[in-house]
Amino acid sequence: MKNMKLFFMTRTKTIVLIISGVLILFIVLFIAHVSPEEVVPPEQTLQEQIEATETEKPQYHSDTTPDDCKLCGKGSGTILPAYRGQNNIGIISLNTFTISYVEINPYDDNGEPMKKPRKGSASHLLSSGEDGYSSFVSENQWRGYADGSVYFRQDEFLNMEKAATFLCSDCLNNIMDQCWSDEPYGVGIIDFRTGEIRLLEEIVTAFMFNDYYITCDLREPREDDSSVEMDLLIFYCPERYQD
């Protein structure tokens, strides 16, 4: 009986030692595989993901200073200073900074908004030569819309080096951040009230741009070497109610 009791005590101690050894081994393995650097709060992991995503965005550099920037600076040598602040838009080339003014909301010669728009339609044609685009726009101020066509020519492709001679780094990156594709056209829409520019793109058929809704209908090329053409329909549609 005494031997039997001793047998069970010895066996119990052996089992306890085995279990203790397994637990110690598990703890050692756990510490070896999970270092303090890997135990990161979820908030920090999310922040790291956001920072990694932001660094993946392409950054565009320009040697043009903000003072010399045509968009956020004085805009010397362009028609921008004459229309800055107006609730109208225009067609603009980033390659040449040629601007076609679209006057849906009428302003007088002093830059003050007119109380009553003109009846009927007015049309105008702009051509910047072979180096840029051509546009034909017809405006109806009475009904608040405009329609026209853009012939891209050399402005079918955005030349980043040329655009950087007109725009500072901040303006250039702000414009590119609004693009859905990596290869927008060199022509876009400028809002004179806000100073924002939205480039036209092949994959974008319509977009809301502040107080304006713009549809973009890309035409089929007439010939293999013909310029890309796009029809625009522009509606002035501000918010009907204020919060």
Kindly report, residue by residue over 92-105, the tens digit of the pLDDT.
999 999 999 999 99
Other CB atoms within 10 A of residue 169 CB: 17
* pLDDT classification of 13: cutoffs 50, 70, 90: low
Residue pLDDT, tens place only, 107-162: 998 889 998 888 888 998 998 777 789 999 999 999 999 999 999 999 999 999 99
- Average pLDDT in the chain: 83
> Could you tell me how far CA 147 lies from the centroid of its own chain?
24
* pLDDT classification of 14: cutoffs 50, 70, 90: low
pLDDT above 70: residue 234:
yes
Query: Percentage of the chain with pLDDT > 70?
Result: 75
pLDDT above 70: residue 195:
yes
What is the chain's Cα-based Rg?
A: 32
**Mean predicted confidence (pLDDT) in 221-242:** 86
Q: What is the pLDDT of residue 40?
A: 46
**Mean predicted confidence (pLDDT) in 75-90:** 93
**Mean predicted confidence (pLDDT) in 165-194:** 95
The residue with tokens 């500072």 is 168
Q: Is the dihedral of CA 44, 48, 54, 59 positive or negative?
A: positive
Which string of DSSP letters, residue by residue, matches 66-82?
Answer: TTT-TTTS--TTSSHHH
- Collapsing DSSP to helix, strand or coil, 179 comes out as coil
Do residues 234 and 138 lie in contact, with contact meaning Cβ atoms separated by under 8 Å? no
Helices H, strands E: what count in the chain?
5, 10
Q: What is the pLDDT of residue 39?
A: 41
Do residues 191 and 210 lie in contact, with contact meaning Cβ atoms separated by under 8 Å? yes
> Could you tell me how far CA 34 lies from the centroid of its own chain?
41
Q: What is the pLDDT of residue 130?
A: 75
Q: How far is residue 2's CA from residue 10's CA, in Å, rounded to a whole number?
A: 12
Q: How far is residue 134's CA from residue 127's CA, in Å, rounded to a whole number?
A: 4
